[in-house]
Amino acid sequence: MKESINVALAQIAPVWLNKKQTLLKIEAAVSEAAAQKANLVAFGETVLPGYPFWIELTDGARFNSSLQKELFSHYLKEAVNIDGGDLEPVCALAKKYRLAVYLGCAERAQDRAGHSIYCSMVYINADGVICSVHRKLMPTYEERLAWSIGDGNGLQVHPLEAFSVGGLNCWENWMPLARTALYAQGENLHVAIWPGNKRNTVDLTRHIALENRMFVLSVSGLMLKEHITPAVPHSELILKNASEILADGGSCLAAPDGSWIIEPIVGMEIVKTAEIHLNDVRKERHNFDPSGHYSRPDVLQLTVNRKRQTIINFED
């Protein structure tokens, strides 16, 4: 197994709320990462088919609003049906190019009856196999008007050559116990995905790197006012209230000592790759390993429920 790998951040803007067209952009970015010899490429939170920016721009909390119903219905129609094969093109590219993919998507979960949306982070390995689907534990603020509450099933790390990679959605990265659940499984490459904005990544990325003495790849989306098209219901109202920049990016990569390998990138769509070395993790774990020699399991322990939550269990 290789102890140095190439990791790529794919900071792209979705074709907002259009699953088919956004998938084409994702496929192009995966191919670009492969051309850059990446072993892993990661995308922003719910980049497929896009983040629900309309909520704060259209009085999203108004109960029983016909406008909000129309927007949610459109979002649900464009959301990702994993069981239905929506991600098969990405899986095929992962297998073709022998690279892993972390993809943020709005998931229409069939195991929850198919009409609720989850903010999900999907890990596809280099064999093109979906190994985990992490549904965001707690949507943030107005996100709860579009996304359902997830569970712990996706709190998993995965082998990637000699590395162990895990990841979290957006503000989950602020949750100490969620991070600990990954650290304790041997995580030494962390992927944090965001809808976009440098303010989210510039401090926390380096903090997580220092906290667990590991590499942290933060990947954001990009969203400009000009990306809102007439194909989106009530686009006129959304445009009226939208700022010119809704998400400015901020994707970056930090080393285990907290230094920048890739400083936050703002305002551009880009696929950028860097090489990382496992030995840099070993060096920094010498003086601090929060799940190893610096832990006190006799005093502090964490219990994690990784069962996929469902309302029905059949016994046929």
Q: CB under 8 Å to 46, separation ≥6 — which residues?
A: 52, 104, 105, 106, 119, 195, 221
Does this model's pTM top 0.75? My answer is yes
What's the pLDDT at 290? 97
Q: What is the pLDDT of residues 224-240, one digit of tens each?
A: 999 999 999 999 999 99
Query: What average pLDDT does the structure give for the chain?
Result: 97
Helix (H, G, I), strand (E, B) or coil at 144: helix
Q: What is the mean predicted confidence (pLDDT) over 33-39? A: 98
19 included as an active-site residue: no
Asked if the bond preceding 49 is cis, omega within 30° of 0, the reply is yes
Res. 30 pLDDT band, cuts 50 70 90: very high
Question: How much of the chain, in percent, has pLDDT values that exceed 70?
Answer: 100
Q: What is the mean predicted confidence (pLDDT) over 11-29? A: 98
Q: What size, in residues, is the chain?
A: 316
Q: What is the pLDDT of residues 51-87, one digit of tens each?
A: 999 999 999 999 999 999 999 999 999 999 999 999 9
Q: What is the pLDDT of residues 246-288, one digit of tens each?
A: 999 999 999 999 999 999 999 999 999 999 999 999 999 999 9
Using alpha carbons, list the distances in angstroms from residue 293 to 26, 124, 285, 288: 41, 32, 9, 7
Res. 19 pLDDT band, cuts 50 70 90: very high
What's the pLDDT at 153? 97
What's the pLDDT at 149? 98
What's the pLDDT at 29? 98
Active-site residue (options: 25, 136, 198, 272): 136
What's the pLDDT at 79? 98
77 included as an active-site residue: no
- Residue 36 phi, psi (nearest 5): -90, 10
Q: What is the mean predicted confidence (pLDDT) over 297-302? A: 97
Rounded Cα distance between 164 and 158, Å, is 5
Q: What is the mean predicted confidence (pLDDT) over 176-190? A: 98
| Cross-strand partners of 260 | 254
Active-site residue (options: 170, 172, 187, 252): 170
Active-site residue (options: 32, 45, 107, 187): 45
136 included as an active-site residue: yes
Question: How much of the chain, in percent, has pLDDT values that exceed 90?
Answer: 98
